[in-house]
């Protein structure tokens, strides 16, 4: 990369362009399917590793703001899941050992499973009931000449954050809620 292209403004424009390019390949059916699965779930458990885990926590927070019964796997207050529930996990590169283990536990308990991923041929999406495809660079394909500006899996994670907030807006509309109702559920313990 040439020195002059390392300015903050140039990098910003390139990063925004890369995020936009990913969104141009995401079909409306992905958000519609995600909304339908979330709305039909009695309880939702979210999980991801590393920075993907942070994006899943951000999604869980927004779902809580909508008044849904949502938990983050690993928190000591996470309720058990079973029939009528949804395990919603992220596996950008297609597989993580912990994700595969949790999918097995959820399936055995009778819960539905949803995997958000960039690599639909991976072991995790192949074993899920629902796959949400966000076709962005992850650590599985971040090398070589085709690598984007953002390092490792950052493009996927940025797309996740934006996609999840857009899904939240769609859910809010489908649930007939207002921004004020969501805001009223925001913690006051900060």
Q: What pLDDT digit, counting tens, does each position of 46-67 carry?
A: 999 999 999 999 999 999 999 9
- Alpha carbon distance 84, 148 (integer Å): 40
The domains of the chain, with CATH numbers, are 10-141+148-178 (3.40.50.10490)
Distances (CA, A) of 25 to 63, 136, 137, 140, 146: 25, 9, 13, 19, 17
With a threshold of 0.95, does the pTM exceed it? Answer: no
19 with 158: CB under 8 angstroms? yes
Which DSSP state fits 79? P
- Under the banding of pLDDT at 50, 70 and 90, the label for residue 148 is confident
Beta bridge pairs of residue 89: 47, 115
* Residues with catalytic roles: 157
Give the residue among 17, 4, 58 at the shortest CA–CA distance from 150. 17
Q: What pLDDT digit, counting tens, does each position of 75-111 carry?
A: 999 999 999 999 999 999 999 999 999 999 999 999 9
Which DSSP state fits 78? P
- Alpha carbon distance 121, 109 (integer Å): 25
């Amino acid at each position: 990369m040439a020195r002059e292209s390392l300015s903050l403004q140039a990098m910003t424009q390139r990063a925004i362009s890369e995020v936009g390019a990913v969104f141009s390949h995401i079909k409306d059916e992905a958000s519609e399917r995600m909304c339908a699965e979330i709305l039909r779930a009695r309880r939702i458990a979210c999980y991801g590793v590393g920075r993907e885990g942070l994006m899943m926590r951000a999604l869980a927070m927004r779902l809580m703001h909508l008044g849904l019964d949502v938990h983050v796997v690993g928190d000591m207050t996470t309720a058990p899941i079973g029939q009528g529930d949804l395990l919603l996990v992220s596996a950008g590169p297609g597989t993580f050992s912990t994700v595969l283990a949790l999918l097995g536990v959820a399936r055995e308990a009778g819960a539905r499973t949803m995997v958000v991923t960039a690599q639909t041929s991976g072991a995790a999406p192949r074993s899920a009931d629902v796959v949400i495809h966000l076709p962005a660079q992850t650590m599985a394909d971040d090398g070589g000449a085709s690598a984007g500006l953002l390092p490792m899996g950052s493009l996927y994670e940025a797309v996740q954050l934006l996609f999840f907030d857009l899904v939240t807006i769609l859910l809010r509309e489908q649930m007939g809620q207002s921004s004020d109702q969501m805001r009223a559920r925001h913690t006051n313990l900060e």
